[in-house]
Amino acid sequence: MESITLQPSEKQIQDFVAQYQAQLVSSKNPYIRYLFKLDKATASIYTSGKVLFQGEKAEQAAQFFGYQASREETTAPQQNCPLIGTDEVGNGSYFGGLAVVASFVTPEQHSFLRKLGVDDSKSLTDQKIRQIVPLLKEKIQHQALLLSPKKYNQVIAAGYNAVSVKVALHNQAIYLLLQTGVQPQKIVIDAFTSDKNYQKYLQRESNHFPNSITLEEKAEGKYLAVAVSSMIARDLFLENLENLSQELGYELPSGAGVKSDKIASQLLQTYGMKSLEASAKLHFKNTEKAKKLLER
């Protein structure tokens, strides 16, 4: 498990707290001011001012404070070819759908993307990402898919699980992008499961293509095509979350923390179970937590 320790300023800490309020969880450690459960990482902010990131995506989370690994660690020379990269957003959030994007990037586009800041996309705020994404959509060939919460719950009920549904979406996004005529020399998926599992679940899908794929951890920091997909997917997920919030009249938070439990219980009280069926991923533990909150 990767661990990164930083000592940012108090202002930076408060900016981080504000950004990830939805992922804030309680801690029994008296020396921890704030504890955040992020996507495949935890962030512990101590009373001393030290911030400890741990987990598979510790490096990604730490880049909020400007942390960067060496160029050798973050840049893959294998991306110097026409390449499709995919990533998903929303998998760890109770509310909102699941967005998956496949993007086709050529070496000639690398300079343009780096000037936009895509090379360091992990350190960008949601606000900055949403400013950049319209340019990415215009300049980069991509295929975006959004599985709404209602449809997500239906496919889970039909026998899919949290991994197999992502396999289906990644495969479909790549398949549709290839149908446009792009010719990648490599296809990279930001790894969310083992290659064996991916191939097992892929067998149930109807659309297939002859190109080989590579599942690689931390691919967002190594391949610009994956970083582009991550940013477009984030924008799509946030747009869906905003639309659902407007429909229900409640501000739905990202993540799966205590705030999500409280909002879910309020929705249950106001609209009943149908509101969660249309806005949340029901198999998350938040559903049962919300029901218990309502019983108090």
39 annotated among ligand-binding-site residues = no
Rounded-to-integer distance, Cα 135 and Cα 137, Å:
5
Query: Is there a contact between 142 and 64 (Cβ–Cβ < 8 Å)?
Result: no
- Distance between CA 288 and CA 267 in Å, rounded? 13
Say if residues 216 and 115 touch (Cβ distance below 8 Å): no
**Has 87 been labeled as part of a binding site?**
yes
Is residue 108 a known part of a binding site? no
List the 41-46 sheet strands across, edge first.
Answer: 3-6, 51-54, 41-46, 32-38, 24-25
Residues 6+ apart with CB under 8 A from 172: 100, 145, 205, 207
Q: Which residue has the tokens 């990202």?
A: 254
**DSSP H helical ranges for 34-140:** 58-62, 71-74, 110-116, 126-139
CA distances from 11 to 7, 16, 46, 205, 286 (A): 12, 9, 14, 48, 31
Q: How far apart are CA 268 and CA 263, in angstroms?
A: 9
| Cβ-proximal residues to 7 (8 Å cutoff; 6+ apart), any chain | 49, 50, 51
Q: Is the CB of residue 23 less than 8 Å from the CB of residue 57?
A: no
| Burial of 152 from C-beta contacts in 10 A (0-12 / 13-18 / 19+) | buried
Binding-site residues, please? 87-88, 190
Binding-site residues for a divalent metal cation, please? 87-88, 190
